[in-house]
Amino acid sequence: MIRNIIFSALVLTASTTLYACPHTELGVPKQSDFVDCREGYAIGYSYKLKSATWVAYRLEKQADGAGVDRVDDFRVDPKIPAQYQTTPEDYDEPIYHQGHLANSESIDTSPTAMSETFFMSNMVPQLPTHNTGIWKGLENRERKWANKRTVIYVFTGPLYQGETKYIGENRVPVPSHLWKVIYDPAANEAITYIIEHKPLYTRDLDNYLASVDDVEAQAGIDLFGKLTDLEQTSIESKAQLRQWK
């Protein structure tokens, strides 16, 4: 009985925290094994995969030079149970970068917000030419669009399709694709990408435009759950034909 009361209290606390979380104002994409609201982003983490299944963050317009400096403090996420953690040592191999899902250069409003993006739960193995190429170009655009559009919401995650490769002692899965959805609430429009995990560059972004429906189907998530059905229908089925300006 006491155990049930404690468990119920923990669930209530987590639910209340997410309810008040600015990054999940549009809904929690998936009730993953571990879901947490941090200062700069929210995360859903799969114990089986040892990988985040989604991250979400709200970005606001920021004055030039207002962000804090980057500090590369890659470290184990202390909130993840030990048997499901990944570590920086898993990446002691010659191929992959520790690739951010929640972008540290966008989430730079405070030292804490920046630092929390370096938890290993926010990393996936990423090819250098992908991480510093097409992905970096897209991350730069999300900050530019936040400054131009005042407020945007960003959702990001990996896909694991086909035969999965693993690295490190903790068997960290290497994604086959990475996806990103960026939503502008003022315009009620989204731009969506599903990007193959291979050497690609910013100029290739137009080739990977997709729809929100595509991401939801492939990732097994439900974005924008707090929007009306009419609002969801108007943004989820169509893919943008070109980049936002």
- Inter-residue contact 159 to 219 (CB < 8 Å): yes
The pTM is what?
0.92
Residue 244 lies in a domain: no
Any domain includes 242: no
Q: Is residue 90 part of a domain?
A: yes
Q: Which residues pair with 60 in a beta bridge?
A: 151
Per-residue pLDDT tens digits for 184-200: 999 999 999 999 999 99
Edge-to-edge order in the sheet of strand 189-196: 34-37, 42-46, 51-60, 151-159, 177-184, 189-196, 209-210
Average pLDDT over residues 202-228: 97
In a domain, 164, yes or no: yes
Q: Taking 50 as the threshold, does the pLDDT of residue 8 lie above it?
A: no
Read off the pLDDT band of 218 (50, 70, 90).
Answer: very high
76 located within any domain: yes
> What mean pLDDT, rounded, does the chain reach?
92
Greater confidence (87 vs 1) lies with: 87
Whole-angstrom Cα distance, residue 166 to residue 119?
Answer: 19
3-state secondary structure 61-95: CCCCCCCCCCCCCCECCCCCCHHHCCCHHHHCCCC
Percent of the chain with pLDDT over 70: 93
- When mean pLDDT is compared over 4-8, 19-23, 116-120, the highest value belongs to 116-120
Asked if the structure places residue 243 within a domain, the reply is no
Q: Estimate the crossing angle of helix 229-236 against helix 212-219, to 10 degrees.
A: 100
Q: Number of folded domains in the chain?
A: 1
Mean pLDDT of 78-92: 98
Q: In this structure, what CATH number is given to the domain that contains residue 8?
A: 3.40.570.10
pLDDT of 130 above 50: yes
pLDDT digits (tens, 9 = 90+) for 27-76: 999 999 999 999 999 999 999 999 999 999 999 999 887 889 999 999 99
Is 245 part of a structural domain of the chain? no
What is the residue range of 50's domain?
A: 2-236
Position 79 in a domain:
yes
